[in-house]
Amino acid sequence: MIVAIKYPNGQPYHDSTHQPLSKKAADSKPVQHGHRGMSLEQELNRANEFYLQRGIANIHKKPTPIQIVHVDYPKRAAAKITEAYFQQASTTDYNGIYQGHYLDFDAKETNSPTAFPLNNLHQHQVTHLLDTKRLGGISFLIIRFTKYQETYCVPIDAINQFWERRKTERQSIPYQAIVQHGVLIQPSLYPSLPYLEAVDHII
Amino acid sequence: MIVAIKYPNGQPYHDSTHQPLSKKAADSKPVQHGHRGMSLEQELNRANEFYLQRGIANIHKKPTPIQIVHVDYPKRAAAKITEAYFQQASTTDYNGIYQGHYLDFDAKETNSPTAFPLNNLHQHQVTHLLDTKRLGGISFLIIRFTKYQETYCVPIDAINQFWERRKTERQSIPYQAIVQHGVLIQPSLYPSLPYLEAVDHII
C-alpha cells in the first residue's frame, strides 16, 4: 500500500522533483542523470512539461478512466473514493497541439530485442489513431526497445500495415522495420526525450 | 450509493441508451425528446459520439484525474480501487480534432438570467485555453444559460477580456456580452446540440 501524504490544502502531495526546472535552473549546468531509471511515461511527462513551459507545444497524458461507485465525504478532509473500477479507454493516452497540428499518440515499451509484439496494441488504439490522422492529425506510436534504450516515433500508417496482417502473417513488427519506418528520438540532457524533434520528420 | 452492475465480461455496465444510434436508426424518424432532461455534458457527449460515428470530428471528454492510493485484486473479479482522491485537472475537459483543427474547450452552465459568473471558471482553464489558441488551436467555452435553454460558443479572447478585469470591475460576463461575442448553438433533433456548426463561425 502506498501512503498518501495530505498537505494542509487538502491536495494530494506531488513529488516536486517531477516539476519542470525553472528556466534559470535549466540554463545553468544541468545534473547529468540522463534518463537512467526513468520510465518512458516519466520521460514523456517531463518532455511535455518542458514544451509547455517554453510555449512550444501543449500536450498532456489523459487520466486513466475510472468508474466511481462510492465516495465518502468526511468532515474537514478531502472526499475519499472508496469503491471504483478501471475502465477501458476509448482513445490513446496522449494528445495536444504542436505548431498548429493536432498530435495524437500512445507510448509502448518492449523488452524484446527483435520485434515489437502487436499484442501490446489494441484495436481501439489503432482505430483512434487512423481516425485522427484521416481528420488531419499527426498520429503515431512512440515505441521503446528497452534492451537498446532506443525510442522511435512510428507513424500510424506504418504500424497499420503490420496490424492488418497480424492474423495471417506475423504478430509483431520486426525491429528492422521499426528502424526503417520510424524516426529515432535522439536523447538529450533536458528534456531527456525531445520527441518533437522526431515528430518534425513525420509532419 | 450507486450499485455497479458487473456483466460477465468483467466490464462495468454502460447505459446503452447513451450509445450513438446506428446510421439507419438516426435516418429513420427520430423520437422527439429534444434535450429535455439532458445535462450539457450529456448533450456534448452525444454530439461527440455522433461526430465520431460520421467521421466529422474526433473529440472526447477527458476522464477526471484521480490519485489512486490502494487497489484490491480479488480472484476472479475486476481490480477494485478502495482508496483514491480527486485531483485538480491542469487542462480543460474537452479536446480533439475537427477538420484539421485542434479544438479545446470547457463547458459551463449557469442559472443566472443576467450574467455568467466568473467564479465558474479557474485560472488554469483560462491559461490553458489562451495557450492552445496561441499555438494555433480553436479555444472556447460553451456556456449555457439554463433559464433560457440557450447555449453559446464563446471564443477565449472574448472571455479573457472580462477575466482580466474581474478583480477591478465586474466579476461576471453580462448575458448581452455573451450574445454579442458568442455564437448561439441552434438546437436540432440529432444531435440535440450540434455545437460544431457554431464552432464553424469562430474558425
ipTM: 0.81
pLDDT at position B3: 42
Confidence at residue A19, expressed as pLDDT on a 0 to 100 scale: 37
- Per-residue model confidence (pLDDT) at position A36: 58
Render pLDDT for A11-69 as a digit per residue (tens, 0 to 9). Answer: 444 443 333 333 333 344 444 444 556 899 999 999 999 999 999 999 999 999 999 99
Using CA atoms, how far apart are residues B49 and B188, in angstroms rounded to an integer?
Answer: 15
Distance of alpha carbon A182 from alpha carbon B110, whole angstroms: 48
Find chain A residues with C-beta within 8 A of B98's C-beta.
135
* B7-64 per-position pLDDT tens digit: 444 444 444 333 333 333 334 444 444 455 689 999 999 999 999 999 999 999 999 9
Q: Locate the chain A residue with the closest alpha carbon to B128.
A: A58
CB-CB under 8 Å, A83 with B55: no
Q: What is the pLDDT of residues B57-116, one digit of tens each?
A: 999 999 999 999 999 999 989 999 999 999 999 999 999 999 999 999 999 999 999 999
The pLDDT, as a whole number, for residue B95 is 98
Cβ distance of B79 and A101 shorter than 8 Å? no
The whole-number pLDDT of residue B184 equals 98
Q: Is the pLDDT of residue A6 over 90?
A: no
Mean pLDDT (whole number) for A87-101: 96
What's domain B35-199's architecture? Answer: 3-Layer(aba) Sandwich (3.40)
Chain B's closest residue to A86, CA to CA, is B79
pLDDT exceeds cutoff 90 at A9: no
Sorted by sequence, the CB contacts under 8 Å of residue B194 that are 6+ apart come out as B47, B185, B186, B188
pLDDT, average across residues B146-168? 97
Rounded distance between C-alpha atoms, residue B173 and residue B145, angstroms:
12
Within 8 A of A72 by CB-CB distance, chain B residues are none
> In the beta sheet, which residues pair with residue B145?
B110, B150
Cβ contact, residue pair A88, B136, below 8 Å: no
Q: Does A66 touch chain B (CB under 8 A)?
A: yes
Q: Is the per-residue pLDDT at B158 higher than 80?
A: yes
What was the pLDDT predicted at A38? 86
Q: What is the pLDDT of residue A133?
A: 98
Please give the pLDDT value at position B14.
44
Which grid cell is A59? 500536450
What is the pLDDT at residue B38? 86
The answer to whether A182 and A154 have CB atoms below 8 angstroms apart is yes
Any chain B CB within 8 A of the CB of A7?
no
CATH for A37-199 is 3.40.1350.10
Q: Which three cell numbers stand for residue B4?
A: 455497479
Contact A58 B82 (CB under 8 A): no
User: Residue A88 and residue B34: Cα distance in Å, rounded?
Assistant: 30
Does position A171 have pLDDT exceeding 60, yes or no?
A: yes
B57 touches chain A (CB under 8 A): yes
